[in-house]
Amino acid sequence: MGINGQQTGSIMHLSRWLAAASAALTLAATTALPQSAQARDIVGFSGDYSPGTIVVKTGARSLYYVLGGGKAVRYTVGVGRAGKQWTGTAMIDGKYLRPAWSPPADVKRDKPYLPNMIAGGSGSNPMGAAALTLSRGQYAIHGTNNPGSIGGFVSYGCIRMYNADVLDLYSRVSFGTTVIVTN
């Protein structure tokens, strides 16, 4: 998604607890708007998915992190608007905290007034607190500084999460995590 940030591979070598603590501190330091609300729950989940898989159901505007044993963490998300949705399988190929953002060509074409780059941590940066880039296209699972957009059909194909939720997911996943997007 044209993200310019620093990969934080060292976080992947820490325990989950330390990663979650680091993510919580980053959230406190980086969000422009308070987002104490989180849209995540542990729910029953069936399907032939391995633990650690991310499943996005765009019609339900939900992202599931599969725990196994018939359970998943469910997050409410914003998804692609009409004509911008996609389905298929991808892998997480990048993890970024406070990423800078460069609008892709189709976004820039529709919104020529956007700058060529928005610094990480800026309140106007649409990536929010963290981004998980995907191996397919210019897409990412990312936070947002516009929490009112969560639960809607709002993006150019990216999956938008509350900043607190993307940091929680960030602490759970690693490079190569499978992401399956369905209707």
Residue with tokens 């990480």: 120
Among residues 172, 175, 171, 165, which one has the least CA distance to residue 36? Answer: 165
Neighbouring CB atoms inside 10 A of 180's CB total 17
Catalytic residue among 158, 159, 164, 179: 158
Buried b / exposed e over 117-134, threshold 16 CB at 10 Å, is: ebebbbeebbbbbbbbbb
Catalytic residue among 142, 143, 159, 162: 142
Among residues 138, 118, 136, which one has the least CA distance to residue 128? Answer: 118
Burial of 84 (0-12, 13-18, 19+ CB in 10 A): middle
Look up 158 and say whether it is catalytic. Answer: yes
Half-sphere exposure of 38 (CA within 13 A, CB side): 13
Q: In sequence order, which ranges of the chain are alpha helices (DSSP H)?
A: 16-30, 105-110, 163-172
Residues taking part in catalysis: 142, 158
